[in-house]
Chains A and B, each alone.
Chain A
Amino acid sequence: MSDNEKGNSPSRRAFLRGAAAAGAGALTTSAATAQTADTLITKVQPWAQEFGDGVDAAPYGMPIEHEGDVIRRNVEWLTADTVSSINFTPIHALDGTITPQGCAFERHHSGAIDLKKEDYRLMVNGLVDTPLVFSYSDLERFPRENHVYFCECAANTGMEWAGAQLNGAQFTHGMIHNMEYTGVSLRTLLEEAGLDTAGDLKDKWVFVEGADASSNGRSIPMEKALDDVLVAFKANGEALRKEHGYPVRLVVPGWEGNMWVKWIRRIEVTDAPVESREETSKYTDVLDNGIARKWTWAMDAKSVVTSPSPQSPITHGSGPLVISGLAWTGRGTITRVDVSKDGGMTWETARLAKPGEKMALTRFYFDTEWDGSEMMLQSRAMDDTGYIQPTKTQLREVRGLNSIYHNNCIQTWLVRSNGEAENVEVS
């Protein structure tokens, strides 16, 4: 293949991170014939001869050092200080759907606080029959539930409204994580305090706030509070990490991450929204005419190709290629993902690794044969409401350029014949 040869000329290949390691043998489309015997096979290697680490070398294990670049990253120019900032999940390097806690994005408004279980208190007050205070151990005595949910910051992809800006799926789409939560339903705790006093629940709200200095208060309509909101204390089987709200956080499935109050200390039943800073001055979406939408809680269907992508180039040349990505919707389940290699002229339906789960990440794969020519890779998610992920042009027609939040546009990666990928916008 001439494209193949051109795409993998030495000068181009040198341009690629990690390409050298792939070796010349990997470049052909069918099983290669080795010219010389591989000493990794013919010679006894140290790891096949000597001892490895004993048990307890790491009582709590970290990823092996060779994976040291799979870490959260910060975009320093975005914010004034790391205590009120955000970093990004390395989604370009992960697979499956569950995000390990140690590399799941962080968003703090006043820093991640150190709050012990024994110092933890949760108050339920307001329009309830008996205002209550729960300790951490009280929470452990209520019936528990397990659910996998994604948590996406409303500002995910927010830097891309005006144009392609950050070169990497981690930075364009990494304000998201997906964990299995263990906790008590908010409904259970509200019922324990009693809701008779609240009267008609249809126009009631709960105001939730955290124990940190920012106190991050948000108002949640009672319908949602009684539906699927979880007061969670475990994630992926272990205690929440400090940076995710240890010991207890709120989980608000499908809704913007800012409502998932960390270190939650108080739940108040109210007859109106509080209109706190986080639900007026922030997390409201300014349209072209200067009018802003508020209460845009649900995260619409969205997807992104995580590999290949700018931080995860193709290093093996033409031939079999796995195009992989993530899809999610805050309004139900993902039913289908389509992939385009030509910037949206033609689409083919990708394979879902598992059927979509409600308000959780769905992994998709598109197993293909790459001829080494340039691709404009896109993915397009659909959910069970019939919604189709829009293009950036479609979004801009309705919202303009100043919304900041809720950018769920179709992403384009320009993949060059050398396998390198770049964040671009297309016509």
Chain B
Amino acid sequence: MLKFPKSATLIAAAIFLSGPVSAEKLGLGRSALPEEIAAWDREIRPDGTGLPVGSGDALVGEEIFADQCAACHGDFAEGIDNWPKLAGGADTLDHEDPLKTVGSYWPYLSTAYDYIKRSMPYGNAGTLSDDDVYSIVAYILYSNDLIEDDFVLSNETFLDVEMPNAAGFILDDRAQTEYVQWSGEPCMENCKSEVKVTMRALVLDVTPEEEKTEVAAVVEAEVVPEPVAAPVVEVAAFDVELAEAGVKVFKKCKSCHQIGDGAKNKSGPILNGIFENAAGAVDGFKYSKAMRKAADAGLVWDNVELAAFLAKPKTYMKGTKMSFAGLKKEKDQLAIVEFLKSLED
């Protein structure tokens, strides 16, 4: 039997004594069909229950990771900005600010497969094939120095991987370590001889400013861009081949940006019709202060500005919400700009 905190056991005793668990059924709902259960009941357990037949390795995983994961998690799973770091942190758990990654902290590998399969890539969840997930998990393990690059991760080898922090957890012990000493009659008088302020929040100054909603509305009103001439897409200036190359590059963008009919704002704004239009102007998207400021100053996404932004977003615009590291190759920058040209609003 599993051990529960004492209080839970007491509650449990009361419940089970209160009567057998068999009440009159109302006959509501319908039987779940096997294919329905199969579609939703996909969680993977620590003992490997639920793992699909399949395999992958870190080399394949590296490519998929670069396409699907690196925009947030970094090329080496090191994490960009506030996005989760997936690698590193070994032996830091008892240090100040421990780095809790799949390698340093996660007790079960099943959790990584389970989560990636069901909830990743971010903004495009549940689209990875079983083998892709094995490959990505293998790459994350490799990034944590937990497997060699020739290790093939599969449903058969899955439990061979040792997770360094598997034994790093204990069950809730507050009843023994805390409740006993923090109870009884509290002190009411002369509880301390003196009291001094030892730390002040104002020193750090990290509390958000209180912006009233009216203020926000005014700012938005100011953002209304000068009427821009309707984008005239000159047929001669449009390179179909280049735009097609851009379709492939766009894979790097699509976990955050949607395009086409029915597109919605996700982590990033819809990209229909942004070319040759005012920056920061997609309806309903909450832009960074930096982007709003640039829009105020009249930024228009032409060839030059877009390419510069996409090359190094954080350098081009300090404070942008776009956590993408940037397109290193000029060829890719040009291709994506050409592709964005083709997307009409």
- Residue positions of A touching B, CB distance < 8 A: 68-69, 71, 73-84, 109-111, 123-126, 130-135, 138, 141-142, 163-168, 171, 187-188, 190-192, 194-196, 201-203, 207, 209, 213-215, 217, 221, 223-224, 226-227, 265-266, 268, 272, 274-277, 280-281, 284, 286, 288-298, 300, 310-311, 331, 338, 342-348, 376, 380, 382, 385-390, 394, 398, 401-402, 414, 422-427
- Let me know if A293 and B30 touch, CB within 8 A: no
CB-CB under 8 A from A166, the residues of chain B are 201, 206-207
Whose C-beta in chain A lies nearest to the C-beta of B44?
A274
> For the complex, what is the distance from the CA of A138 to the CA of B25, rounded to whole Å?
13
Question: Is B129 located at the chain interface by the 8 A CB criterion?
Answer: no
CB-CB under 8 A from B23, the residues of chain A are 188, 191
From A168, A194, A386, A427, B184 is in contact (CB under 8 Å) with A386
A106 nearest CB across to chain B (Å): 14
Residues 174-196 of chain B: 1 if any A CB is under 8 Å from the residue's CB, otherwise 0?
Answer: 10011101111011111111111
> For the complex, what is the distance from the CA of A310 to the CA of B72, rounded to whole Å?
35
CB-CB under 8 A from A289, the residues of chain B are 94
CB-CB under 8 A from A135, the residues of chain B are 29
| Interface residues of B, dominant DSSP | loop
Please give the number of chain B residues whose Cβ is less than 8 angstroms from any Cβ of chain A in the complex. 99
- Let me know if B94 and A293 touch, CB within 8 A: no
Q: Which has the most chain A C-beta neighbours within 10 Å: B40, B168, B179, B214?
A: B40
CB-CB under 8 A from A163, the residues of chain B are 199, 204
- Let me know if A191 and B21 touch, CB within 8 A: yes
Known: A201-B21, A274-B43, A286-B93. A192 touches B174 (CB 8 A): no
- Let me know if A213 and B11 touch, CB within 8 A: no
Known: A203-B2, A265-B40. A426 touches B198 (CB 8 A): yes
- Residue positions of B touching A, CB distance < 8 A: 1-2, 4-5, 7-9, 11-12, 15-16, 21-23, 25-26, 28-32, 36-37, 40-41, 43-46, 72, 81-83, 93-98, 100, 102, 105-108, 110-111, 114-115, 118-119, 122-123, 125-126, 168-174, 177-179, 181-184, 186-202, 204, 206-208, 210, 212-214, 266-267, 286, 321, 323
- Let me know if A164 and B214 touch, CB within 8 A: no
Known: A398-B177, A398-B178. A80 touches B199 (CB 8 A): no
Whose C-beta in chain B lies nearest to the C-beta of A201?
B21
Whose C-beta in chain A lies nearest to the C-beta of B104?
A290
B149 nearest CB across to chain A (Å): 25
B156 nearest CB across to chain A (Å): 21
> For the complex, what is the distance from the CA of A73 to the CA of B207, rounded to whole Å?
11
> For the complex, what is the distance from the CA of A330 to the CA of B300, rounded to whole Å?
53
From B118, B119, B183, B204, A386 is in contact (CB under 8 Å) with B183
CB-CB under 8 A from B208, the residues of chain A are 73-76, 171
> For the complex, what is the distance from the CA of A196 to the CA of B20, rounded to whole Å?
10
Known: A266-B40, A288-B94, A387-B182. A424 touches B199 (CB 8 A): yes
CB-CB under 8 A from A422, the residues of chain B are 200-202
List the 8 closest pairs (A to B, CB-CB), nearest first: A290-B94, A290-B93, A343-B195, A80-B82, A213-B125, A423-B201, A223-B12, A131-B32
CB-CB under 8 A from A133, the residues of chain B are 29-32, 36
CB-CB under 8 A from B191, the residues of chain A are 344-347
Known: A268-B41, A272-B45. A424 touches B197 (CB 8 A): yes
